[in-house]
């Protein structure tokens, strides 16, 4: 995680890009991974932990109907989170993460380990779905952050 974070901070500094995060299941781990790197203040603008549905609705302006219809852990919610984060933060790159970290809370349709990661850069938005199987809560959070860092790096090159 540290090497990826260093690589990302270096790349974004070189390209003079700013980044922001809206995290749910990772609880600020992505923000922490970036701010652990010296010089990250040049590129990191905002990190929100919108853990509850209410926070997603009131802070990120995710429509209540989206969460009611699709759930907090869905492509639609992740897309709405990243799109609205971008409006709030006005950064070059915005990232959202929502998922089921477990060990409880999973269902047949949305099992523990299901994670959505959204990235918006300019007018391009991408939401990826992952399933980290047979992992504990901490591992799911770490895998999610590593996946997000890799996605941002590949999306930014």
Residues sharing a CB contact under 8 Å with residue 136, sequence separation 6 or more, in sequence order: 102, 103
Looking at residue 50, its pLDDT comes to 98
With tokens 């770490």, the residue in question is: 142
Looking at residue 157, its pLDDT comes to 82
User: Per residue in 35-76, pLDDT tens?
Assistant: 999 999 999 999 999 999 999 999 999 999 999 999 999 999
Low-confidence ranges of the chain (pLDDT < 70): none
Q: Residue 123: give its domain's CATH number.
A: 3.90.950.20
Structure tokens, 91: 């950064």
Looking at residue 67, its pLDDT comes to 98
∠ CA 91-76-155, rounded to 5°: 40
Among residues 22, 47, 23, the alpha carbon closest in space to that of 35 is found at: 47
Can you give the residue range of the structural domain that contains 74?
Answer: 2-156
Report the domain count for the chain: 1
Q: Are 77 and 118 in contact (CB under 8 A)?
A: no
């Amino acid at each position: 995680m540290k090497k990826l974070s260093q690589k990302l901070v270096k790349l974004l500094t070189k390209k003079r890009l700013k980044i922001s995060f809206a995290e749910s299941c990772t609880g600020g781990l992505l923000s922490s991974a970036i701010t652990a790197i010296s010089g990250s203040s040049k590129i990191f603008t905002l990190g929100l932990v919108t853990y509850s549905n209410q926070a997603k609705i009131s802070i990120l302006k995710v429509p209540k109907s989206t969460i009611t219809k699709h759930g907090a852990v869905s492509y639609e919610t992740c897309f709405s989170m990243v799109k609205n984060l971008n409006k709030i933060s006005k950064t070059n790159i915005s990232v959202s993460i929502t998922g089921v970290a477990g060990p409880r809370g999973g269902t047949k349709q949305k099992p523990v380990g299901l994670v959505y990661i959204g990235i918006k850069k300019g007018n391009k938005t991408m939401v990826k779905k992952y399933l980290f199987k047979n992992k504990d809560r901490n591992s799911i959070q770490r895998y999610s952050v590593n996946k997000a860092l890799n996605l941002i790096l590949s999306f930014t090159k």
